[in-house]
Amino acid sequence: MPRPKSSFDRLRPFQFRQPDEVLDPDTMYTVYEIARLLQGLDPDTELDVETESILLDWAIPWLVKNSDALCFGDPASDDEPGHYGLLD
């Protein structure tokens, strides 16, 4: 439900971190792992489904915005996610 701006204690600019600030250049990550990294979590952190869904809401636009700096590795099988990493 929408809320008035005055109901927030603090408002700050909406900013995305740069890919090289989040990802190791020699590692490929799933979107789920990137979602965790964007929140400062270890990529292997266990999360409940609801929290993971919220984090994905942040990660997917970040991937799209930074697509020119990223590469994609095909999934090993049809039931696994692909992996993303920094372009060389």
Structure confidence by residue, pLDDT tens digits, 67-76: 999 999 999 8
CA angle 51, 84, 18 (to 5 degrees): 80
A 10 A CB-CB count for 56 gives 14
Does residue 39 surpass a pLDDT of 90? yes
Does residue 13 surpass a pLDDT of 90? no
Beta strand ranges found along 1-88 (DSSP E): 70-73, 83-86
Q: How far apart are CA 36 and CA 31, in angstroms?
A: 9
Report residue 15's pLDDT band, with 50, 70 and 90 as the boundaries: confident
Report residue 81's pLDDT band, with 50, 70 and 90 as the boundaries: very high
